[in-house]
Structure 1
Amino acid sequence: MSKKIQATAIGIDLGTTYSCVAAWSDQHNRVEILPNEQGKNITPSCFACHDTQLLVGEGAKNQITRNPTNTVYDVKRLMGRRFSDSRLQNDILSWPYKVMNGSDDKPLIVLEHKKFSPEEISSMILKNLKKDAEVYLGKTVTDAVITVPAYFSDNQRQATKDAGALAGLNVLRLINEPTAAAIAYGLDKLADENHPQQKNVVVFDLGGGTFDVSLLTISKDGTITVKAVGGDTHLGGEDFDKAMVDHCVQEFKKRHRMDISESARAIGRLKVACETAKRDLSSTAQTPIDLDALYEGIDFFMTFSRAKFEELNVGFFTKCIEHVEKCLTDGKIQKHDIDDVVLVGGSTRIPKIQQMLRELFDGKPLCKSINADEANAYGAAVLAANLTGVGNKTVKDLIIKDVTPLSLGIQTRMTDMTILIPRNTPIPITKEDYFVTMYDYQTSLFVKVYQGECRDTRDNIFLDEFTLYGIPLAPAGKVTGKVCYSIDANGILNVLAELESTGNKKSIIIADRGKLSKDDIDKMLKRVEL
């Protein structure tokens, strides 16, 4: 076990199903993926309560079939989300553990009568990765770069930063997962003297719970510029597994006229079996699902074919290709101008997805030169080294220019969305918008902020609202002011409203609706100590 890596910061890929941690090694002049206590490079993103024990990672996943109602997975799909969100409500119906509505429409997870926020659960996964890194490195770790899906909203990004704080980490930066993968792909190539002045690369990142596609330009001088992003924060391997489980439930019902969907234990066992079968079908045409005494003593056996798997999930696969096409359109580039299509995420091993991608790019070979499970952590570790002044010349010269994935706007005229910062705008960015009073003797200004692409704000993501008071009494149109919108390098938003009239100035900073207060964090820290 190496103890000589001089690293002060780590890179963490906080995945829906699996997570990974890495650090730059000056000794070996490269990134090292740091193993967990079982010696594996990836750790299940699972958390469980069992009697008085709190289990994280392998220990939690290994007892999921025996303790399904107290084992949490897919917590990433809860981060920064509203309990009333229709997609979340559909997820809740399929999860064996209980999710309830907390304050301010925030979801809470109930395990053995204890209530946990999604940030608390994620923090325990992060804390476990932090501990594994410290054991391997032989030193205390405090600084980290954490990956997030490119299509994460402002609230989801803030929730991820809060989880890092709860885990005792100083989050140096959030990095979009495809951008991290592009670093992993491009780092060694940048050192090559024959590297072209510019390469156009598509990163296709399909993981356990999220899908991202990014169009990037990698320049010889070490600049990685994101041109456009697309994706779906609710599309991945978990959805493919669920389609298989639902098919098996219907098959059992057809054979035995019994509905097993209400049995958490039976569904948990089916989920594990289907996930294994899905992986097998990437290398074989068919595979058995064989479960003894699945429900009320009845055995279940069926042969699952690759063709049936593809039939059940072709709608999801088609959505992925549509997102790629839209990303190319947004980036104003033709598919024949793409130099490489880079695959990241375990779900990219599915043969049908690879076939559809090759067909989209007219038979172009796909790039599989980076480890699909470790690439995001690798790229995050490189950025962590870059931000802390560690690494070789290529690492230190690295420059990343990212974009905002969703349009930012405010509500005007009932429920209309007025876009102020369009999606795929380079960040960081600051945009000013001027206003005048709309009616006589107006005393305040009410602003509601949203992210999304729909004209109706009800179909977009509500971020927060604020009221600017103290407007001097005057006829309509006589008082002016401005609202300043700033998106930082993490993709997190601040809004500053400023009144400029008769020499008076007032300002207010919008606080992210999902952000935890210091008191909240202090209380949670006491509860999540492992």
Structure 2
Amino acid sequence: MGYRLGVDLGTTFTAAAMRNGGPPSMLGLGNRALQIPSVLYLQEDGQFLVGEAAERRGATDPSRVVREFKRRIGDPIPLMVAGTPFSAQALSARLLSSVVATATERRGAPPDEIVLTYPANWGAYKRELVDQVISLADVGPTVTCPEPQAAAIQYAAQARLQPGDRVAVYDLGGGTFDVCVLEKTGNGFTILGNPEGIEQLGGVDFDEAVFQHVVGALGPAMEQLDLDTPEGRTALTRLRRDCVEAKEALSVDVDTMIPVTLPGRSTSVRLTRAELETLIAPALEQTVEATGRALRAAGTTSDQLTAIVLVGGSSRIPLVSHLLQSRFSTPTALDTHPKHDIALGAVQYTDTEATAPLSAVGATASLPAVGAGGSQAAGGAAGTGTASRVLPKPTRTPISSETRRRIAIAAGGVALLAVGVFVAIQLTSGDSNNQATQNPPATTPTSVVTSAPTSVTPSVTAPTLKALPLAGIPVSESELVIPLQNGDGQSLYLADAGNPGKSVKLSRFAGNAAAGVDSGPVLSPDRKSMIFTRSTPPAKPALWVSGADGSGARPLFTKVPAQCADGITRPAWNTKVPTQLVVACLAGKTSGLYLVDTDGKVLKQLFTASGQGVGVSDPAISPDGNRVAFQAQRVRPVPGSPVGTGVFTVPLDGTQKARQVTTGADADPAWSPVLPGVIAYRHFLAEGSWAIFLTNVDGSPVACNRALISNPIGGGKLCQFTDGSTLDQDPTWSPHGDQLAFRRGPVTSARIYVASLDGRQAPHPIWTTDVGNQSASSWTAR
């Protein structure tokens, strides 16, 4: 008798289910589990091993193993496997054909039809590439089905749903996250509104966060590990596997020990559930925000949902259900085997369950707010007891950038880190979730402000955005990008705070100073890319993007926004939505602050000011992604005059007017990556004297081992970080938020200094040069 095959080709695991007229059942693909790892190993004869066999061989020869290629579908840059280039589609086709071959062997005949799933938030371009995968695999008649729709079908097979019932499917798998709202119909399900998702977020990133946590705890032991030997590579592979098992164990236990067996040394590292949740909470909060957007797009309030269906292995993390129930007050439904739901639902999918056109369902205008009973708490997800726990930063010996690179290369295709996860390995202070929701009452700013946001476009990530270039290995946490002005124009350098005097040139304009200027660098949240301003007279300044090492530089925008026709300054990179930036622009006499995507589409107008001599600049986004700090001032009428109006903040969602938080000739705000309310900025003290100050935008005290002075606005105390005896400007935070780098001295002889927040490390130069001078550097994503 013929049968149907449903295939869930996942980022980390692949599963398949069969049906021949009766109830569906899982097809055993592996020897140890029903699902297999989505891993391929290229043998010397050109043939691929798949799944468990590929993992075993890859442990000793990582150059021939490839994994997580689903994340690279659509990327024109090929994946190199043992020196041979492959597209992600070709590798996915090899995996699909292997699954079908296993089914054929087990059943004695090929399937009559195959149902292949794909993420619901993939646009038309990537769906065409899914068709290409099917064609390359050459496996016979195949239809496609969105992953959340398959999950909803499986949920409906177990629960009693009536036509008109709605569910939200929250799918957090190994490498991607997507969420959408579905309504039960007579024939199946219809997707409402626009699905939401984060393509580069999943369990592999949580695994990597745990691994980096352990590497940091081991310190010198990792420096001494020889990864050129089979023993060293095997030890690293075993450690990664144990980190994965530790993460999974913490779904049912409150702490675990991670064994570490290195050549000549055996030890262990303890990891608690609270520590794991601290590492991954910022990423999970992104998924909660995406769920809220999906509900709004579907015109659905949380009390209209029957359940939030949790799918994917990473959805078993207890914090996931806790955050969702805290935010939406809706029951969550988690299957015993969430890795199987999509495959089981796919095999039950029929063509009558066609997805309604996204533009025709769930209009986004004039929708009710989302939350319990149709209300939404301002500022983001509600706090949780475990997610907000304050942990002291472990005492660690820093790992050198060279060791980090060796570990990355030896990983054999393991993804380093997803956006937002790496910077979560950090020192926190205070309740970050509660601080994120404390938006002080809006006050009317000074006369510089002439308009509040006048139009709001829904904050969605367009699926057609240009992919930003991602270097294979991110720059080290100790490295900063520094512009240097000299006789050849202004170029960008990568300097190492942990190794003063060491630098690498990233860009260069030949000729004289008029030839061009590269300035205002901003590193991406994952430290793999950077955006900078490039000026080539007589053209106006434009934003460029490149790898963090300066490779692949090109103009960022397809079309420069009209609001930036006469000028644009360095942007702030949204760590929560990396395809979004906040830029300060000038058009005519209007200076404004705008949320834009990486194609140059203006998503929101956040702040505008009009008039001769009015300026807006230096945006910086809070680590929770809720607010923007920026400078608003009048251009000084007299050279050297300290006239200015200070630093302001404004919510990124455009729901409130700008609020002034400092007063004076203040500028260069930089938001701490780990303390949601704390900004560093420059403050004018006297002619020839600028100091770096810290303040909490909600008025609460800032922990400070230096001078405290009264804050004229908002109460509380300001922390004077530098003494003001010199010109100190352009602060930038280290990724862990425990150090500040800043520019010291007049423009003709400035140097970059670094000092620790706790006062134990006095300001000291990290890089000086006898030729030229430095300007605003970048250590984090602002």
| Band the TM-score falls in, shorter-chain normalisation | 0.5 to 0.7
Which residue of 272, 282, 285 corresponds with 2:241?
A: 272
Change (3 A) 1:217 1:261: farther
Larger fraction in helix: 1
Q: Distance in 1 between matches of 2:141 and 2:357?
A: 18
**Residue identity in the other structure for 1:31:** P
Of structures 1 and 2, the one scoring higher in RCO (CA 8 A, sep 6+) is: 1
* Matched residue SS, 2:150: helix
**Residue identity in the other structure for 2:207:** D
Which residue of 13, 16, 22 corresponds with 1:21?
A: 16
Which residue of 323, 328, 348 corresponds with 1:382?
A: 348
Q: CA deviation at 1:221?
A: 5.1
- 1:37-436 equivalence runs, <5 A: 38=31, 40-52=33-45, 54-81=48-75, 106-141=76-111, 143-170=113-140, 172-187=142-157, 189=159, 195-220=161-186, 222-253=188-219, 258=224, 266-293=235-262, 297-362=264-329, 364-369=330-335, 371-383=337-349, 386-387=350-351, 398-401=353-356, 403=358, 407=462, 414-415=559-560
**Residue identity in the other structure for 2:340:** E
Q: CA deviation at 1:400?
A: 4.2
Q: Distance in 2 between matches of 1:139 and 1:273?
A: 39
Q: CA deviation at 1:149?
A: 1.1
- Structure 2, unaligned runs of 5 or more: 360-459, 467-556, 563-594, 603-782
Q: Distance in 2 between matches of 1:75 and 1:300?
A: 33
Contact 2:122–2:463 under 8 Å retained in 1: no
Q: Distance in 2 between matches of 1:370 and 1:399?
A: 28
Change (3 A) 1:152 1:258: farther
Change (3 A) 1:185 1:112: same
* Matched residue SS, 2:356: strand
Contact 1:245–1:267 under 8 Å retained in 2: no
Q: Distance in 2 between matches of 1:250 and 1:142?
A: 52
Q: CA deviation at 1:398?
A: 4.5
Q: Deviations over 1:467-490 (max 9, x none)?
A: xxxxxxxxxxxxxxxxxxxxxxxx
Q: Distance in 2 between matches of 1:18 and 1:36?
A: 11
Q: Distance in 2 between matches of 1:413 and 1:284?
A: 49
Q: CA deviation at 1:288?
A: 1.3
Q: Deviations over 1:269-317 (max 9, x none)?
A: 3221111111111111111111222xx5333421111111111111111
Q: Distance in 1 between matches of 2:169 and 2:261?
A: 42
Change (3 A) 1:198 1:415: same
Contact 1:150–1:212 under 8 Å retained in 2: yes
Q: Distance in 2 between matches of 1:230 and 1:408?
A: 10
Change (3 A) 1:317 1:338: same
Q: Distance in 1 between matches of 2:113 and 2:250?
A: 39
**Residue identity in the other structure for 2:343:** A
Q: Distance in 1 between matches of 2:43 and 2:135?
A: 25
**Residue identity in the other structure for 1:352:** L
Q: CA deviation at 1:152?
A: 2.2
Contact 2:18–2:26 under 8 Å retained in 1: yes
Contact 2:30–2:52 under 8 Å retained in 1: no
Q: Distance in 2 between matches of 1:247 and 1:410?
A: 33
Q: Which residue in the other structure is 2:599 paired with?
A: 457
Change (3 A) 1:49 1:256: closer
**Residue identity in the other structure for 1:21:** A
Change (3 A) 1:256 1:35: closer
Contact 2:561–2:601 under 8 Å retained in 1: no
Change (3 A) 1:301 1:123: same
Q: Distance in 2 between matches of 1:329 and 1:355?
A: 21
Q: Does 1:34 align with 2:176?
A: no
Q: CA deviation at 1:352?
A: 1.0
Change (3 A) 1:349 1:109: same
Larger Rg: 2
Q: CA deviation at 1:415?
A: 4.3
Change (3 A) 1:273 1:374: same
Contact 2:175–2:204 under 8 Å retained in 1: yes
Change (3 A) 1:259 1:416: farther
Q: Deviations over 1:488-528 (max 9, x none)?
A: xxxxxxxxxxxxxxxxxxxxxxxxxxxxxxxxxxxxxxxxx
Q: Deviations over 1:170-219 (max 9, x none)?
A: 46332221111111112455xx6xx4341111111000000011111113
Question: How much identity, in percent, do the aligned residues show?
Answer: 26
Q: CA deviation at 1:455?
A: 5.3
Q: Distance in 2 between matches of 1:341 and 1:304?
A: 29
Contact 2:311–2:338 under 8 Å retained in 1: yes
Change (3 A) 1:34 1:256: closer
* Matched residue SS, 1:250: helix
Q: Distance in 1 between matches of 2:207 and 2:340?
A: 22
**Residue identity in the other structure for 1:175:** C
Number of aligned residue pairs: 376
Contact 2:177–2:199 under 8 Å retained in 1: yes
**TM-score calculated relative to the size of structure 2:** 0.45
Contact 1:185–1:370 under 8 Å retained in 2: no
Contact 2:215–2:222 under 8 Å retained in 1: no
* Matched residue SS, 1:169: coil
Q: Distance in 2 between matches of 1:248 and 1:336?
A: 42
Change (3 A) 1:356 1:410: closer
Q: Distance in 2 between matches of 1:204 and 1:71?
A: 30
Change (3 A) 1:366 1:112: same
**Residue identity in the other structure for 1:135:** E
**TM-score calculated relative to the size of structure 1:** 0.64
Mean Cα displacement is larger for which, 212-221 or 407-416? 407-416
* Matched residue SS, 1:231: strand
RMSD: 3.1
Q: Which residue in the other structure is 2:617 paired with?
A: none
**Residue identity in the other structure for 1:163:** V
* Matched residue SS, 1:240: helix
Change (3 A) 1:197 1:149: closer
Contact 1:17–1:45 under 8 Å retained in 2: yes
Q: Which residue in the other structure is 1:424 paired with?
A: none
**Residue identity in the other structure for 2:183:** T
* Matched residue SS, 1:12: strand
Q: Distance in 2 between matches of 1:282 and 1:371?
A: 14
Change (3 A) 1:367 1:456: closer
Change (3 A) 1:454 1:187: farther
Change (3 A) 1:266 1:224: same
Contact 1:146–1:171 under 8 Å retained in 2: no
Q: Distance in 1 between matches of 2:100 and 2:561?
A: 44
